[in-house]
Structure 1
Amino acid sequence: MNKIHNRFQFKSCFMSNMKALATGIVVFGATLAPLTHATTLRIATTHAPDQYASEVMQQIKKDLEGAGVDLKVKLHMASQLGSGEQLMGEAVRGSVDIVHAFVYSHKDPILEINSLPYLVSNYDEMEKLYSPGSNFYKLFDQRMDRLGLKLLGMTGEGFVGVMTSAVPDNYRNTDDKGQNIRVWSSQAAKLATQDMGYNTTTIDWGDAFPALQQGVVDGMIGATPEATYATFKEAINYYIPYNAFVESTTYYASKKTWEKKLNAEQRKVVADVFAKAAATFVEWSRENDAANLEKLAAFGVEILPMTDAERRVIAEKIRAVTWPKLEERLGKDVLAEIVADF
């Protein structure tokens, strides 16, 4: 009888303990229920750490993480994950979520509108061109979308000149320069630079510094005064402010990230943060080009002078000679639509 009673007591005690344990698990689970896992965005850039674009990217990280929508940012700066061409491919595949880099035309020739020479002549025109509402921005958005990319903003970081190791012949006009310089992978850039009197070699941005330093090329086109000072000043002796192109880099996201990884609230925050960041660039670049020309000169890089009239003559020739060569590649309608912005 005692054995039966003891078994009953043990069973009752066991059942009570199990109920208590189950209640504890429920309470503990309820305590954890509100916690969620933050969405981590892998953002890659090609800018040097001391460039303005990198300062802006650090602020973007703070704004995204502080928006209260469960976003975390992992930054890969200064081409750590590859060149602009490589990052575009990574974003299409979804292995990188967001990129800030120059958009090359190797995946779509129409994206070469980003490299049209002497398209704009001042900072006010630059601001209009790279803002939502312009024909240029609309075309760029459409072409990026077709590749599987979401346009988040365009940044005008200043005007582009030529850097060299020696003074080019006839640098004030479009006669032969007697130099071979680096250009990026753009037919528009190549044709325009050749029509300016230079021979050209296409080299990726990441390989440009050693190419200059080792004398593979005599110089390069494709950098603002800021980028020249930040990245190339030790490898050159001269800089010519042709203002031939706008240094336009782009904020864009992988559509796989945009459509599958982010919810509606997160998409709105990302869109707003990057639009705000992009809007700061033109005002900043108005003064930045001049300031960095002064810094280059102080470092020992000689600035070869050009007058507005000399630039105007070169610009008129490029528009008359180079642009028609691009009609077959870009289309008359595309060029006409961009020109209509002005």
Structure 2
Amino acid sequence: MHKRRFNALIASLFASAALGFSMPATAQQYKDEYKLSTVLGEAFPWGWGAKRWADLVAEKTEGRINVKVYPGAALVSGDQTKEFTALRQGIIDMAVGSTINWSPQVRELNLFALPFLMPDHKAIDALTQGRVGQKMFEILAERDVVPLAWGENGFREVSNSKKPIRTPDDVKGMKMRVVGSPLFLATFNALGANPTQMSWADAQPAMATGAVDGQENPLAVFNAAKLHTVGQKNLTLWGYVADPLIFVVNKNVWNSWSEADRKAVQEAAVQAAAEELARARAGISAEDDSLLKEIEANGVEVVRLSDAEREAFRAATAGVYKEWAERIGADLVKQAEEDIAKR
């Protein structure tokens, strides 16, 4: 009797599938594992934040959503500038991505890489937590992803193996590794450097062999990657751009989850992002400069620019700022400038 009922049930399910009937939302099948892409591993605040999000998602969904983190942009063969496209295509399910790496596909994200737009952390917060941040989320939502929270890689400082950098003239002729963004090329070209685009995976070997003289990255990245061991003995704090991170989910994946699980994933993203941001900013303030002291203890000479010295770099890149402000959108840039001024 039970066997006949079971067979009848199976037959009805197959008949429903054949007729194209959809299963109720509560019966949607989840993947056994969701792929989360990030550029850096757990030793860095960025990678730690991705892992934290994955753990919180499993916890808050009671194991219904299991996430595996793929650092090193491994899902796109290490080319972080292809990450956003793969995310849209569904090759990647989730990501904690950099505004820099996604800017080739989303031109408005270049805003954060305008040279010397943001002078401090309050300026970053004025953008990501205000009107500009909301506008960016709306733009991303039109491109097959669901943005959930803002994290941070940090202000990008410049280092090299040759000499201390205090003026634009000091940068002239230097072979500098930069990320795959035309705006970064334009900025370093304006300073008279010789910029070379390469992935992070290729950058450290290039520094070790002297193929490039220097690079620019947040202090947490500089320290965790032990860049002092590949000749980067001169570090200048110029804070020329900052690198916000965005916690996102592919839209089709998002829509496949129940409302309760979507809420749980969003709450996990907000929590992980806040904790990641705190890590990214730790040890680099006037109140707590422990990270800077650790870098200096490794034999690195740290140059702290005066306001006048920093202004010289801003003036040298003003033409790049103006050109790219027009490309990004004059109204959006004006809004950003206004919100920073009000901070």
What's the TM-score once normalised by structure 1's chain length?
0.80
User: What's the counterpart of residue 199 of structure 2?
Assistant: 204
2:63 is the counterpart of 1:42:
no
How many Å separate the matches in 2 of 1:23 and 1:91?
43
Alignment equivalent of 1:227, drawn from 216, 221, 237: 221
User: What's the counterpart of residue 189 of structure 2?
Assistant: 194
**How many residues in Structure 1 have an aligned counterpart in Structure 2?**
310
Q: CA deviation at 1:38?
A: 5.3
Q: CA deviation at 1:36?
A: 9.2
Asked if the contact 1:212/1:219 (under 8 Å) is kept, the reply is: yes
2:277 is the counterpart of 1:272:
no
How many Å separate the matches in 2 of 1:37 and 1:110?
35
Q: Deviations over 1:155-214 (max 9, x none)?
A: 22321111211115xx21223523121122223322223334423122222221122222
2:132 is the counterpart of 1:136:
yes
How many Å separate the matches in 2 of 1:44 and 1:137?
22
Q: CA deviation at 1:316?
A: 5.0
Please show how residues 275-290 of structure 1 align to structure 2 within 5 Å.
275-289=270-284, 290=289
Structure 1 residues 223-232 or 283-292, which shifts more?
Answer: 283-292
Q: CA deviation at 1:97?
A: 0.8
Residue 221 of structure 2 aligns to which amino acid in structure 1? Answer: A
Q: CA deviation at 1:248?
A: 2.0
How many Å separate the matches in 2 of 1:146 and 1:337?
21
4+ residue runs over 4 A deviation: 20-26, 34-39
Alignment equivalent of 2:321, drawn from 318, 323, 329: 323
Q: CA deviation at 1:145?
A: 2.5
* SS across alignment from 1:249: strand
How many Å separate the matches in 2 of 1:327 and 1:113?
7
Alignment equivalent of 2:108, drawn from 110, 115, 130: 110
How many Å separate the matches in 2 of 1:21 and 1:220?
69
Residue 297 of structure 1 aligns to which amino acid in structure 2? Answer: E
User: What's the counterpart of residue 300 of structure 1?
Assistant: 299
Alignment equivalent of 1:213, drawn from 208, 212, 217: 208
Q: Deviations over 1:110-154 (max 9, x none)?
A: 2211312212111222222222xx232133223322332221222
Residue 269 of structure 2 aligns to which amino acid in structure 1? Answer: F
2:137 is the counterpart of 1:145:
no
Using a 3 Å threshold, how does the CA distance of structure 1 residues 201 and 78 change in structure 2: closer, same or farther? Answer: closer
Alignment equivalent of 1:334, drawn from 306, 319, 332: 332
How many Å separate the matches in 2 of 1:300 and 1:202?
27
Q: Could you tell me the percent identity over the aligned residues?
A: 20
Please list every run of 5 or more consecutive structure 2 residues that lacks an aligned counterpart in the other structure. 9-25
User: What's the counterpart of residue 91 of structure 1?
Assistant: 87
2:51 is the counterpart of 1:58:
yes
Residue 301 of structure 2 aligns to which amino acid in structure 1? Answer: E
User: What's the counterpart of residue 16 of structure 2?
Assistant: none
Residue 300 of structure 1 aligns to which amino acid in structure 2? Answer: G
* SS across alignment from 1:47: coil
How many Å separate the matches in 1 of 2:162 and 2:207?
11
2:184 is the counterpart of 1:185:
no
Q: Deviations over 1:239-289 (max 9, x none)?
A: 111111113222122122122x32222211111211222233444444333
How many Å separate the matches in 2 of 1:292 and 1:197?
30
Asked if the contact 2:45/2:280 (under 8 Å) is kept, the reply is: no
User: What's the counterpart of residue 121 of structure 2?
Assistant: 123
How many Å separate the matches in 2 of 1:54 and 1:110?
24
Using a 3 Å threshold, how does the CA distance of structure 1 residues 196 and 294 change in structure 2: closer, same or farther? Answer: farther
Using a 3 Å threshold, how does the CA distance of structure 1 residues 108 and 123 change in structure 2: closer, same or farther? Answer: closer
How many Å separate the matches in 2 of 1:255 and 1:63?
20
Q: CA deviation at 1:35?
A: 11
* SS across alignment from 1:209: helix
Q: CA deviation at 1:22?
A: 6.1
Please list every run of 5 or more consecutive structure 1 residues that lacks an aligned counterpart in the other structure. 1-18, 27-33
Residue 331 of structure 1 aligns to which amino acid in structure 2? Answer: G
User: What's the counterpart of residue 313 of structure 2?
Assistant: 314
How many Å separate the matches in 2 of 1:98 and 1:335?
28
Asked if the contact 2:37/2:96 (under 8 Å) is kept, the reply is: yes
2:61 is the counterpart of 1:68:
yes
Residue 226 of structure 1 aligns to which amino acid in structure 2? Answer: A
Cα RMSD after superposing both structures: 2.7
Alignment equivalent of 2:155, drawn from 148, 159, 162: 159
User: What's the counterpart of residue 12 of structure 1?
Assistant: none
Residue 94 of structure 2 aligns to which amino acid in structure 1? Answer: I
* SS across alignment from 1:66: helix
Q: CA deviation at 1:298?
A: 1.9
